[in-house]
Structure 1
Amino acid sequence: MTQQVLILGGSGRIGSQVAADLLTHTAVNVTIAGRNPETGQKACQALVNSIGETTPQRCQFVSIHLDDLRGLQDAIAQSDLVVHCAGPFHHRNASVLKLCIDSNVNYVDVSDHASFTCKAIALQAEAQAAGITAMINTGIFPGISNSMVRRDIEQLDRADKVHLSYVVGGSGGAGLTVMRSTFLGLQRPFAAWIDGKRQQVQPYSDREAIEFPHYGNVGVYWFDMPEALTLANTFPVKTVVTKFGTVPRFYNYLTWSVARWWHPRLLQSNSVIEFLSRVSYGMTQISDRLSGVGVAIRSEVLGMKYGQLVRCCSTLHHPNTALVAGRGTGAIAQLLLSGELKKPGVWTPEQVLSTPMFEKAMSDRDLEIHQQLLPNSIDRSFETSTAEC
């Protein structure tokens, strides 16, 4: 029988890209779930049209609210794989993953916050006992970024420091949810892994200028990303830096000023977060025409090779952030559906996705990652600057 994939939040920007990837690279039937039937039906039709699918039945919509656990459980029980794209994940619990465990259904999500990552990892033993493979933090960052770091680390005899940085053009083509995630990430200090211990870092602090493909020199800032947690737990490195920036540069100034000058209580208000998100999203609808909606990732690992201090650096650029996120998640979903990726438990990509699997998935999706090994004459990439905007 044809495999069935349920995509929660499937009519959103990221969810629809995951659906498009699965419809393109597999023979599965996709059910996209959401709260708005009209939007969902339009999303299904758009997906069928965009990939030239001659069998409309391969993409269906079902109206499900995440709070409707009964309806959600029924939909999960009829699926071979569940892909959770209904963010933002900052305040999500792991109830969807728990339902998948109870129904013995494999699980993938696009979660992007350490608090949710911890909730999911807490279900590790239950997932192992149920025999299901749950992949969290998939997408682009986190997701592809995690595998880029693993690939870089494998080039070295010993890895000491990881520096991950990302830049996104405008909205990234990903809609309001990503805007909400950005401002939610400013709410409080977070724990970063620095010099072998957890240290509190202020979000959007310590500006550092990084050279990215396509974008050139861009300022990036500390940002709370789950890679800071999972990479440090997976590899014996002393430091993990995760920094984020946007173009046009004006948006960096805006985000930095909110993080620095707004009272913390304001950022704890859902209405304030919603206001900031909608205003920013409205602005990007204009600026996206000039900046584009692309993304660039730079992974840089400092360590030892043949007794020498070296840096292994990888870069990725693509003109559509949401599309790449969909491909990153779709690639992992495809591997789970085929049975090539099977390891009961709750995992992030760098923990179970082998480099050969990763490289093939990227090649199949025309995503090119450049990697080079360089002598470390100046350890510039691991110095955090105190300069502000």
Structure 2
Amino acid sequence: MTTLIVGGYGSVGRTIAGELATASDGPSSVVVAGRDETKAATVAAELGENVSGIAFDLQRTDLYARVLEDIDHVVMCVDQAGTAFVEACLERGIDYLDVTASDEFFRRVERLDDVARDHGATAVLSVGLAPGVTNLLAKRMTDQLSTVSEIRIGVLLGLGEAFGPAASRWTLERIGREFTVFDAGRSRPVRGFVTPEPIEFPRYGRRRAYSFDFADQHVLHRTLDVPAKTYLCFDSRAVTAAVYGLSRFEVYRPTAEAIGLDRLTGLVSTLSVGGEGFAVSVEVDGQQDSNAKTLLRAIDGEEQSRVTGLVAANVSMAIHGTSVPSGVYHVHEILDSESILDVLRERGYRLTNSEQVRETSNPVTLMS
């Protein structure tokens, strides 16, 4: 089996390539691809003889046939505006996995479900930390409850980590931007980094996080038919408060436009006002028998981009090591969380579980 990693020399792609190249049950060969042939070749040389590097520009649709020849599986680490390349993969019966965090793109790929089924291919979306691990944790807890009323997801990012420019830009352009959430039986608009919510992060304590347009809230609502909301904060309380103030008083977006998003992304990448730690926390409110419960599962550690790479590599191997049906799926729809979480535990990431039982007026909290 040959796996093509598009964007394979970025921080996430490099982790995926390294994991697949060294795994005993990984593909027989790995191809690292990107617009810069020298970078692709350099990473390939570092990873061993079964890894090669090629130049590939996603905008060049005329190259698709040549690049996809003899490829069995594609892992995409580059954001795309359209689905031409996804369609090219699925029409050739090539399995496809995407680490993007854009729900707009997810919706477009979901419409290709019939294409994937007709050609015996599987596409897996929501593969990473958020979305990805958050989806798996949420699905695990909803399965433990008889009814679910709401899912809340908190993401805490360390500002000391060297994020790639694409990831930084994606985050910056969503601050202060309006999006829609499903709440109290109806859709309502909210703005990014404006609506506060106290979130418990076991390593960092209780933090005030703010509404943010992560894809997992939309995906979980579509697939589980449960209201879900996502919130973001940073390890620096001062930066979190400053971003909230700029967003709430509608100063951020005019300022970002005046500076220019590309320039602002460059400026942010030079700052180091926090650590490299991250945390995600997923809380699910619901009912089990006669008890009202809130279940919490959280994970924390360092280098959140590495987690995305580890998850993607292991999902890639899992869909080839098990019988996965053809079609387009989000990760929680076809894989159990425990196999992925076991990998993260082995790599030093900490998982925490807690449960609040509200059988009486005094909740009882159980930790593990």
TM-score, structure 2 normalization: 0.90
Q: Distance in 2 between matches of 1:346 and 1:155?
A: 25
> Which of 229, 237, 241 is the matching residue for 1:249?
237
Distance 1:189 1:316, change over 3 A: same
> Which of 51, 65, 75 is the matching residue for 2:57?
65
In the TM superposition, what is the alpha-carbon distance from 1:76 to its structure 2 partner?
Answer: 2.1
SS of alignment partner, residue 77 of structure 1 = coil
The residue that corresponds to 2:39 in the other structure is 39
Structure 2 runs not aligned, ≥5 long: 364-368
In the TM superposition, what is the alpha-carbon distance from 1:203 to its structure 2 partner?
Answer: 0.8
SS of alignment partner, residue 66 of structure 1 = coil
Q: Distance in 1 between matches of 2:56 and 2:88?
A: 14
Q: Distance in 2 between matches of 1:232 and 1:185?
A: 20
Give a deviation string over 1:71-104, Cα, whole Å, max 9, x none: 23322232111001013x5xx2122211111211
1:10/1:34 contact within 8 Å kept: yes
Q: Which amino acid aligns with 1:320?
A: E
2:19/2:310 contact within 8 Å kept: yes
The residue that corresponds to 1:17 in the other structure is 15
Structure 1 runs not aligned, ≥5 long: 49-55, 380-389
The residue that corresponds to 2:129 in the other structure is 140
SS of alignment partner, residue 93 of structure 1 = coil
Q: Distance in 1 between matches of 2:181 and 2:40?
A: 39
Does residue 1:310 correspond to 2:299, yes or no? Answer: no
Q: Distance in 2 between matches of 1:281 and 1:69?
A: 32
The residue that corresponds to 1:51 in the other structure is none
The residue that corresponds to 1:275 in the other structure is 263
1:186/1:267 contact within 8 Å kept: no
Q: Which amino acid aligns with 1:220?
A: A
In the TM superposition, what is the alpha-carbon distance from 1:196 to its structure 2 partner?
Answer: 2.5
The residue that corresponds to 1:27 in the other structure is 26
SS of alignment partner, residue 283 of structure 1 = coil
The residue that corresponds to 1:179 in the other structure is 168
The residue that corresponds to 2:199 in the other structure is 210
Q: Distance in 1 between matches of 2:246 and 2:105?
A: 24
1:336/1:342 contact within 8 Å kept: yes
1:335/1:341 contact within 8 Å kept: no
In the TM superposition, what is the alpha-carbon distance from 1:266 to its structure 2 partner?
Answer: 6.6
The residue that corresponds to 1:387 in the other structure is none
Count of matched residue positions in the alignment of Structure 1 and Structure 2: 358
Question: Which ranges of 4 or more aligned residues in structure 1 deviate by more than 6 Å?
Answer: none
Q: Which amino acid aligns with 1:104?
A: G
In the TM superposition, what is the alpha-carbon distance from 1:362 to its structure 2 partner?
Answer: 4.4
Percent identical among aligned pairs is 20
1:191/1:200 contact within 8 Å kept: yes
The residue that corresponds to 2:318 in the other structure is 335
Q: Distance in 2 between matches of 1:341 and 1:276?
A: 45
The residue that corresponds to 1:6 in the other structure is 4
Report matched runs for 1:1-389 at 5 Å: 3-25=1-23, 26-28=25-27, 29-46=29-46, 48=47, 56-87=48-79, 92-170=81-159, 172-186=161-175, 188-237=177-226, 239-260=227-248, 261-262=250-251, 264=253, 272-284=260-272, 287=273, 291-338=274-321, 340-362=322-344, 367-376=349-358
Q: Distance in 1 between matches of 2:112 and 2:176?
A: 26
Q: Distance in 2 between matches of 1:265 and 1:343?
A: 47
1:341/1:353 contact within 8 Å kept: no
Q: Distance in 2 between matches of 1:45 and 1:311?
A: 49
Q: Distance in 2 between matches of 1:341 and 1:221?
A: 39
After superposition, the CA RMSD in angstroms is 2.3
Q: Which amino acid aligns with 1:142?
A: P
